A and B are shown apart, each in its own frame.
Chain A
Amino acid sequence: EADIYQTPRYLVIGTGKKITLECSQTMGHDKMYWYQQDPGMELHLIHYSYGVNSTEKGDLSSESTVSRIRTEHFPLTLESARPSHTSQYLCASSERYNSPLHFGNGTRLTVT
């Protein structure tokens, strides 16, 4: 059963477009994360949030931005998509700092 939802599942978009990847969780978790992962490769943390109105950049430099206005919602926005943004974006949440991560199904983004 999925308690963390990501939409869209797949997205193909042209260069220069603005896009928002949606992530919502119903578990009431304070901690939420965005990871970028190329197929079969490592996970790179690009953004995280420890609660409402709290956002931090992760280890991987990213041209995306995030917001956390509500506990359950953590959208990621790309103001101007480029082919280098083609990747899978995984959203995750956890109850506490050291708690297990619950991942969404991911959004596979292709920028042409």
Chain B
Amino acid sequence: GQQVMQIPQYQHVQEGEDFTTYCNSSTTLSNIQWYKQRPGGHPVFLIQLVKSGEVKKQKRLTFQFGEAKKNSSLHITATQTTDVGTYFCAGTIQAGTALIFGKGTTLSVSS
């Protein structure tokens, strides 16, 4: 069954507003990865977090990994129309096993 939960499923914002998607697991994750999938495209790797409490930034994107390594978030500051797409988190529950993807958050941005 689904072990990595992601919310919200959909989010619509006005251009310039902030956006956050959250990822939660019932078990400790060894690492978490974030992907972006543009409409009609394939998922593209954004970042990987490994350490407890880790925070990484990519321009307007901020990624966090919780202290207990059970949750993560992606925050976009001042969204742009180019941010449109579905953002997936994916975690490894156990070393040596395949990634488990969340259901994704689909972001739409109106100008």
Report A's interface with B, CB cutoff 8 A.
33, 35, 40-43, 45, 48, 58-59, 90, 97-98, 100-106
> How many residues on chain B are close to A (CB under 8 Å)?
26
A91 and chain B: residue at smallest CB distance: B42
Cα-based distance from A5 to B41 in the complex (angstroms): 14
- Whether the pair B45, A42 counts as a contact (CB closer than 8 A) is no
Whether the Cβ atoms of B86 and A103 lie closer than 8 Å is no
B68 lies within 8 A of chain A by Cβ: no
Interface hub of A35, A59, A101 (most chain B Cβ within 10 A)? A101
**A60 → chain B closest CB, angstroms:** 11
Interface of A, helix, strand, loop or mixed by DSSP: loop
- A101 and B43 contacting across the interface, CB-CB below 8 Å: yes
Q: A40-B86, A43-B43, A106-B42 are in contact. Are A101 and B99 (CB under 8 A)?
A: yes
Given contacts A40-B86, A43-B88, A105-B42, contact A97 B95 (CB under 8 A): yes
- Taking A100-B48, A105-B42, A106-B42 as contacts, is the C-beta distance between A42 and B103 under 8 angstroms? yes
26 A-B pairs in the complex with CB atoms less than 8 angstroms apart: A33-B98, A40-B106, A41-B103, A41-B104, A42-B88, A42-B101, A43-B88, A43-B101, A45-B98, A45-B99, A45-B100, A45-B101, A59-B100, A90-B43, A97-B97, A98-B30, A98-B48, A100-B33, A100-B45, A100-B48, A101-B33, A101-B35, A101-B45, A101-B90, A103-B42, A105-B41
